[in-house]
C-alpha cells in the first residue's frame, strides 16, 4: 500500500512539496493536495495588480494546470484538522493520512485594527489590491500612509516596495508634488537582518521624500482619516494602504496545533509536536520570515524527510536561507540573500538595484509558473 501524504494548502509550500514528491516518489506515495481556491497568485503580483501593471487574469495561475503524477488536487475548504489521527475534513469529505503537512499560510485579522475595515485599504489580499487599483487613478492630492498593523507580516520588504512604487506611480501621473508618502512599520528598519539593505532603502526614501517611521505598528484608524500609531502619535491621512495584522487560519487555531502566540511551532525538521505532522511556510514558527522562498525551503526539507522515511537516508533540515527581490522603483530591483538559521544572528547580503536583477526576479516567477503549472 502506498504512503498517503495529505498536503493542506496549495501555496508556495504546498505546491513545491507536492511537485518534489511527484518527482521523487510518484510510485510510492499517494499525495492529496487540498486548497479552497481555484488559482494561485504570487504575493508580489498583488503589487503589479494594484499599480495597474498587470491584469488580474494574467497573474492568476489556475490549479487545473497543476498536473503531477501521483498527486491529486482537490478544490475544497478544510473545516477540521485532527493532528492526533491525521484526519482532515473538508466541505466535501474526510481524508485519512499517514503523513500530514500543514501549509495553510497566514490569514489576516482585520478586527485587530479598529477602523481598518471601514476607514482603510489593504494591499495584502487580491481583493484589496484590486480595490486600490480602482482608487489610485483618482488619487491626486493628499497624504498617503503605507501602514503595517502587526508583526510578523509576510515579505518584510513589501511595504517598502509599495512606497517606492507609489512614488513612481504618482510621479508618472504628474501629481507627486501634491502628495505626501509616509511608511509606518513595527520593524526597526526596512529589512532588519541586513543593515546594508535597510540603509539603501532609507536612502531611497530620503531621495524621494518618503517619510519612514519604524518601531511603531498602526494600532487603529479613527474616523477613517487619522491613524493612531504605537508611540501614541496620530497621523492624519487621505489614503491608507495597510498591511493587516496576520494570524494562523482559524481551522489551524481550532485544531489545537497553534501555541499561545497563535502559530504552529516546529523544530529544524519542520516537525510539529504531533507524530508525522509537519508544518511549513507562513503558518509555522520556524525561525524564518514569512516569505515564499522560505516556504519552498521548508518544503524541500520535508520532501527529503519523506524520501528518507521510504527509501532510507538522512531527514531534511530547514536551511533557513533565501533570496528576496526588492523593487526600488525606476525599473530597478535589488536583492538580499538572507540566512536565518546558520549563525547566532540572521544575516543578509545586499545586491544593489539593477535591471539585471529585474530579469532575475522575472525568472524567479516564470520558473515557478513553468515548474508548477507548465505555463
Is residue 340 a contact residue for ligand FAD (CB under 6 A)?
A: no
State how far the Cα of 107 lies from the Cα of 109, in Å rounded to an integer.
7
Radius of gyration of the chain (CA): 21
Q: At a CB cut-off of 8 Å and minimum separation 6, what does 344 contact?
A: none
Cβ–Cβ under 8 Å, residues 19 and 47: no
DSSP string, 113-157: STTHHHH-EESSSHHHHHHHHHHGGG--SEEEEEEE-SSS-SSTT
Piece of the chain touching ligand FAD by CB under 6 A; list 3-11, 65-73, 181-189, 262-270:
3-11
Is residue 282 a contact residue for ligand FAD (CB under 6 A)?
A: yes
Is residue 124 a contact residue for ligand FAD (CB under 6 A)?
A: yes
Q: How far is the CB of 8 from ligand FAD (least distance, A)?
A: 7
Q: Which strands sit side by side in the sheet containing 94-95, from one edge to the other? A: 78-82, 87-90, 94-95
Q: At a CB cut-off of 8 Å and minimum separation 6, what does 316 contact?
A: 269, 270, 300, 301, 302, 303, 304, 305, 308
Piece of the chain touching ligand FAD by CB under 6 A; list 30-38, 112-120, 138-146, 187-195:
30-38
Is residue 150 a contact residue for ligand FAD (CB under 6 A)?
A: no
Q: How far is the CB of 91 from ligand FAD (least distance, A)?
A: 9
State how far the Cα of 219 lies from the Cα of 280, in Å rounded to an integer.
29
Of 154, 208, 265, 369, the one binding ligand FAD (CB under 6 A) is 154
**Residue 34 vs 204, nearer CB to ligand FAD:** 34
Piece of the chain touching ligand FAD by CB under 6 A; list 21-29, 167-175, 288-296, 340-348:
288-296
Q: How far is the CB of 211 from ligand FAD (least distance, A)?
A: 21
Q: How far is the CB of 43 from ligand FAD (least distance, A)?
A: 2
Residues found near ligand FAD in the complex (CB under 6 A): 9-14, 34-37, 43-44, 46-47, 77-78, 103-105, 124, 154-155, 158, 249, 251, 281-282, 290-293, 295, 324-325
Amino acid at each position: 500500500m502506498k504512503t498517503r501524504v495529505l498536503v493542506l494548502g496549495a501555496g508556495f509550500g504546498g505546491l513545491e512539496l507536492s511537485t518534489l514528491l511527484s518527482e521523487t516518489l510518484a510510485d510510492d506515495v499517494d499525495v492529496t493536495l487540498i486548497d479552497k481556491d481555484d488559482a494561485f497568485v504570487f504575493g508580489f503580483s498583488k503589487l503589479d495588480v494594484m499599480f495597474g501593471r498587470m491584469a488580474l487574469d494574467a497573474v492568476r495561475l489556475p490549479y487545473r494546470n497543476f498536473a503531477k503524477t501521483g498527486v491529486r488536487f482537490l478544490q475544497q475548504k478544510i473545516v477540521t484538522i485532527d493532528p492526533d489521527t491525521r484526519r482532515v475534513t473538508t466541505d466535501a469529505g474526510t481524508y485519512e493520512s499517514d503523513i500530514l503537512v500543514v501549509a495553510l499560510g497566514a490569514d489576516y485579522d482585520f478586527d485587530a485594527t479598529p477602523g481598518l475595515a471601514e476607514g482603510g485599504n489593504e494591499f495584502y489580499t487580491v481583493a484589496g489590491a484590486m480595490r486600490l487599483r480602482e482608487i489610485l487613478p483618482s488619487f491626486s492630492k493628499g497624504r498617503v500612509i503605507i501602514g503595517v498593523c502587526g508583526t510578523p507580516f509576510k515579505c518584510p520588504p513589501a511595504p517598502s516596495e509599495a512606497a517606492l512604487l507609489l512614488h513612481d506611480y504618482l510621479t508618472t501621473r504628474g501629481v507627486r508634488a501634491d502628495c505626501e508618502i509616509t511608511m509606518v512599520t513595527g520593524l526597526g528598519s526596512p529589512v532588519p537582518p541586513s543593515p546594508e539593505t535597510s540603509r539603501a532603502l532609507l536612502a531611497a526614501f530620503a531621495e524621494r521624500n518618503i517619510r519612514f517611521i519604524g518601531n511603531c505598528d498602526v494600532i487603529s484608524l479613527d474616523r477613517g482619516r487619522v491613524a493612531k500609531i504605537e508611540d501614541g502619535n496620530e497621523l492624519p491621512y487621505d489614503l491608507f494602504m495597510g498591511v493587516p495584522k496576520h494570524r494562523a487560519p482559524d481551522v489551524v487555531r481550532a485544531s489545537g496545533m497553534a501555541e499561545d502566540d497563535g502559530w504552529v511551532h516546529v523544530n529544524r525538521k519542520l516537525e510539529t509536536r504531533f507524530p508525522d505532522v509537519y508544518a511549513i511556510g507562513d503558518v509555522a514558527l520556524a525561525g524564518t520570515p514569512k516569505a515564499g522562498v522560505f516556504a519552498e525551503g521548508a518544503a524541500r526539507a520535508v520532501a527529503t524527510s519523506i524520501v528518507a522515511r521510504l527509501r532510507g537516508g538522512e531527514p531534511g533540515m530547514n536551511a533557513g536561507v533565501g533570496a528576496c527581490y526588492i523593487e526600488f522603483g525606476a525599473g530597478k530591483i535589488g536583492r538580499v540573500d538572507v540566512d536565518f538559521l546558520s549563525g547566532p544572528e540572521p544575516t543578509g547580503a545586499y545586491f544593489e538595484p539593477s535591471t539585471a536583477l529585474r530579469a532575475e526576479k522575472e525568472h524567479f516567477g516564470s520558473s515557478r509558473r513553468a515548474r508548477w503549472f507548465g505555463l
